[in-house]
Structure 1
């Protein structure tokens, strides 16, 4: 019983966010390999509006031109390759990248994309970067002329100014979402079976996980612009994407109401209760700290917060003692054993407002995890799930049963609840215990870049080509379930 209690006290809350306190530098990769994503079908309204359901947002320095930045937003989750010709963008929606360059989480620049008709015969018009006509959740088109115009499925615009792509692409989301769901509903306990805990067995190739999203497509908007168009007084910008629905014409100008947004990966999916997700998507980043801070758990610090040794060092020692800080039962500790933190609000500061923080002066390939947010923007080849698992299991406060590290009084703590051992009231605790989904072979777990079912492109728009009709060359079979 004591051994199993140790397992439980080693866990922390699932957040699917990148490291909030370490500064991690990775060498630039010559080939984009893979990314993990976040927000497929996460709220009632977008479930019924797939053309506006944002699956992922990416922002990164162009790997071929350090003077440019690339933004990518994907919609239409779970697009079947067999029905590839049926997916497009909605002419009734306004798609936007919003950029704050003054640090107040209010957009100072916008890139707006609209479409002229339904179906893949549509033409896209890109406006901006430009100062928005209106800010917030209700927007109108900027008054300037389009900066690029082109057909679905093509790269268009100017390689020296605004360049864009709109069309069908491979879904770069990699996540064992099926097993994640089983852990949350209690039919499984971990991503990989260990001791008394249920999970997937190890295959001959050294993997356990199954990429639930392999073989699916999305519709993608990619825009590349000179960084000079976006800079404010510093090199740091905040980025988020929104989709808004056309409302009746007002004063001769089309107006659009926001119903979907995304900044950092999986914030709404993980932290916002299902009943509040529409409200979250309708909201704006500048109000996030006031509205949603209570949903984020405290971070562990170097000070014992409950008299049981519940510190960052205590958590690291516990993970090591239970074997989940080393393969094959878990990923190595990313923060090490002597990591120091003095603020219990560290996770809230990193997560809210829900925007991607991008330093335009940091080279492509430098993740800068936790330097000023979750990571530097969101590159396409970054392990957006596994790295957060490895970090958050060391940082998020969890209340465990009495007598276990973290098992002190809950008074004054914003901790996840795992007092009903062995199940845990909050099953997210078990999701991050091992620090990985084991989708990659064990000998590559420590690599913070990941492989995709299709390779990323070496040139703009970088996101892979779409999956072909089933049976055609390049067909990817759905991974074998266990």
Structure 2
């Protein structure tokens, strides 16, 4: 065969394969991946294993003498993401911090530190067979952790070598995944702990919210939104702690107005200041530096301006006065007025009569007689009144719906913090502080059209829904995939993909034919 023709055929074949690959990949809607409330600041968006996505604190519904604290990390885990499935980072300190006297400084810290081991380095497999227990020899990659309590300057290791469950791979690899998760729930000392993968409990129409605050179906409180987190997973840290372990006087308050009834909480992640790469390894040294901080939801996403987001993640609550203007003069309020003509309450500078004292209470001081501790120092925390017992009929709108056990009194998994926050900025809470103010009728109807998680939460600790398995998920980016869909849906999607690929190969064949003709003429 002529050398020039052979060369052209090779080019055409490569071209055909390239078209086939591009044809199948480019039809995936990538926009939703890039628009996330989880990736809230420029620096942390490049460090997903240290990126705190959400934080929850609530009186445990089935064990009301305890508080459950949940910190989620690593956003947008796509279930089929092997062979290196998702895990915590061995080089990150993950911490949950408690301020129990209102001075904006942590009094108690729970620190998680992880260690990953590989049983067999001569295989690419995450697991070499079905994993039926956390000690199963088929589980090749394992992660354990230590749990340390820090209080009054003393560090106490309360648990070591605690196992985490593997990622939910599929029916052959993890046939009884609920059993693996249950095995990872451990009681150490006075607390119950879990660390591992879960379905992302946050629900919101990210695509609409970050497309210039689009509400797909006005006014937003009657559905019609698209859950941008559906089908994705996160890495969860969950703690269930006796209330008496958290309060400043070691009591379990029953009076919501008791001096010790309110605690504040947040989560942070920290890395050592220096990382050296070489020889296929990374080594870290130096002091630990905070890279992520998260208390109340959506603060760094929509309250803190872009130029200050990385500073926020490295800051401590005691220094939050520097961010006060974002609370008292929120950009979101201006946008709601400009886009939807909502008449938001007066706005002005921090400390003036025109300040948004309602938002100052929600985000910085706590609400009087509900979540405000005595002698409070303004700071952003997720505050919880531990004396308010769980309700048998929770309302997703929390305090706005007169359900004082919900957000912004702590945060339960099912609280619709997006709708609550948007309505609060629009003025729905303002009459509590200014009796003569009447909110815009639209203010109490605003929302994103997504009212609940795509999966039901469980009734016992750690309460989180199980993560989707990778086998049943064709793509976390394809409408957050065919999780729970019928085989027919999967077959239809596969048919479309095959059709695209066949068409692309046909184009490639045509290109090859043309190149061969040109080559023969030459």
TM range (shorter): 0.5 to 0.7
Q: What does residue range 162-201 of structure 1 map to in structure 2 within 5 Å?
A: 162-184=191-213, 190-192=215-217
* 1:131 and 2:151 correspond: yes
The answer to whether the Cα contact below 8 Å between 1:90 and 1:118 also exists between their aligned partners in 2 is no
Structure 2: state its 5+ residue gaps.
1-35, 119-140, 166-180, 250-259, 276-284, 331-336, 344-352, 365-378, 431-436, 482-522
Q: What does residue range 30-429 of structure 1 map to in structure 2 within 5 Å?
A: 39-83=37-81, 86-117=85-116, 121-128=142-149, 130-131=150-151, 133=153, 143-147=155-159, 149-153=161-165, 154=181, 155-158=184-187, 161-184=190-213, 190-192=215-217, 207-233=223-249, 234-247=260-273, 255-288=287-320, 290-297=321-328, 344-352=356-364, 353-365=379-391, 367-368=398-399, 375-394=408-427
Q: CA deviation at 1:345?
A: 2.4
**Deviations 1:51-71, CA, capped at 9 Å, x for gaps:** 110110001111111111111
The answer to whether the Cα contact below 8 Å between 2:327 and 2:356 also exists between their aligned partners in 1 is no
The answer to whether the Cα contact below 8 Å between 2:428 and 2:444 also exists between their aligned partners in 1 is no
TM-score w.r.t. the length of structure 2 is 0.58
**Deviations 1:157-199, CA, capped at 9 Å, x for gaps:** 3277221111111011111111112224xxx5x43268xxxxx
TM-score w.r.t. the length of structure 1 is 0.63
SS at match of 2:197: strand
The answer to whether the Cα contact below 8 Å between 2:389 and 2:405 also exists between their aligned partners in 1 is no
Change (3 A) 1:193 1:230: closer
Change (3 A) 1:478 1:113: same
SS at match of 1:145: strand
Aligned residues: 340
SS at match of 1:220: strand
SS at match of 2:457: coil
SS at match of 2:467: coil
433, 446, 461: which is aligned to 1:435? 446
The answer to whether the Cα contact below 8 Å between 1:357 and 1:372 also exists between their aligned partners in 2 is no
Tell me which residue corresponds to 2:464. Answer: 463
SS at match of 2:319: helix
Structure 1: state its 5+ residue gaps.
1-37, 134-141, 195-199, 300-314, 326-340, 398-405, 407-428, 440-449
Higher helix share: 2
The answer to whether the Cα contact below 8 Å between 1:285 and 1:354 also exists between their aligned partners in 2 is yes
The answer to whether the Cα contact below 8 Å between 1:238 and 1:355 also exists between their aligned partners in 2 is yes
Q: CA deviation at 1:435?
A: 0.8
Larger Rg: 2
Tell me which residue corresponds to 1:442. Answer: none
Q: CA RMSD in A?
A: 3.8
